[in-house]
Amino acid sequence: MDRTKALSIVKEQITEKRYIHTIGVMETAIQLAKEYGADQKKAETSAIFHDYAKFRPLDEMKRIIVEQKFDARLLQFNPELWHAPVGAYLVEKEVGIKDAEILNAIHYHTSGRIGMTLLDKIIYLADYIEPGRNFPGVEEARELAHVNLNKALIYSVRNTIQYLLNRNQTVYPDTVDFYNDLVMKGEDVG
């Protein structure tokens, strides 16, 4: 699917502010794909559709999580996590994208998981560091992203977990597993 068509589909699903965010994620993902040797077209498509379900009603997302037998633990955690797996499902069903790599990158862009692929990592990080983001630590993550992908991910995931812990919020187990997987593998990319 070409970029213009994909963006027009997504624009109908999200707010203007989220659309600007999506453009930033897309541009960042393409740049990271160039730097780390990933498929740039898949990075572009994954980034464009990463927030496809962001503004779907919570009851619709909950229904899809149950019906599609996604990880039931999702329902015990912040609903901000829900749009990622639901989005992957809806992108396949409504848009017709069948590429498993793209769908997985969408599915895991909020939580991470053990064994993230290069594309998964790029979308996760691009969402975290796109130019419109402004929070403590984002500049450091941006700098690391152009030096070492996995070090940038470790930094970013640790920052996210610390943010949640400081607010006495729960941390989704896949996110902890993602962090531990990166640290234990001691992966060194870039």
Mean pLDDT rounded to a whole number for the chain: 96
- List the domain range (segments joined by +) for residue 117: 3-135
Is 71 a domain residue? yes
Is 69 a domain residue? yes
Is 161 a domain residue? no
Is 162 a domain residue? no
98-141 pLDDT, tens digit each: 999 999 999 999 999 999 999 999 999 999 999 999 999 999 99
Nearest-CA neighbor of 47 among 66, 31, 70? 31
Helix (H) or strand (E) holding 61: helix 58-67
Is 165 a domain residue? no
Q: In the chain, pLDDT over 70 holds for what percent of residues?
A: 98
CATH of the domain at 65: 1.10.3210.10
Number of domains in the chain: 1
Q: Is the pTM of this model over 0.85?
A: yes
* CB-CB neighbours of 165 under 10 Å: 11
Contact 25, 84 (CB under 8 A): no
* CB-CB neighbours of 5 under 10 Å: 11
34-90 pLDDT, tens digit each: 999 999 999 999 999 999 999 999 999 999 999 999 999 999 999 999 999 999 999
